[in-house]
Amino acid sequence: MMNRVQGHRGTVLLAEGDVLIRMPLAQYLRECGYKVLEATTLDEAKLALGDANSAMSVVVSSLQLAGNGFGISNWVKQHRPDLNVLLTGTPRRAVEVAAGLCSDDSVPTPLKPQLLLRRIRQMLATRKGAERGRAATEFV
> Of 110, 58, 117, 114, whose CA–CA distance to 86 is shortest?
58
**pLDDT value of residue 30:** 92
Report if residue 114 sits inside a domain. Answer: yes
Mean pLDDT of the region 34-41: 92
Report if residue 3 sits inside a domain. Answer: no
**pLDDT value of residue 67:** 58
Report if residue 4 sits inside a domain. Answer: no
Reduced to 3 states, what is the DSSP secondary structure of residue 12? strand
Structural domain harbouring 101: 10-139
User: Rounded to an integer, what distance in angstroms lies between the CA atom of residue 12 and that of residue 98?
Assistant: 22
> Of 8, 52, 18, 10, whose CA–CA distance to 38 is shortest?
18
Report if residue 2 sits inside a domain. Answer: no
Instruction: Give the CATH number, domain containing residue 63.
Output: 3.40.50.2300
Q: Are 136 and 85 in contact (CB under 8 A)?
A: yes
Q: What is the dihedral of CA 3, 22, 96, 86, to 10 degrees?
A: -50
User: Rounded to an integer, what distance in angstroms lies between the CA atom of residue 51 and that of residue 48?
Assistant: 5
Report if residue 1 sits inside a domain. Answer: no
Confidence of residue 102 (pLDDT cuts 50, 70, 90): very low
Predicted TM-score of the model (pTM): 0.66
pLDDT above 70 (res 135): no
Report if residue 5 sits inside a domain. Answer: no
Based on the structure, what is the number of domains in the chain?
Answer: 1
Report if residue 40 sits inside a domain. Answer: yes
Report if residue 31 sits inside a domain. Answer: yes
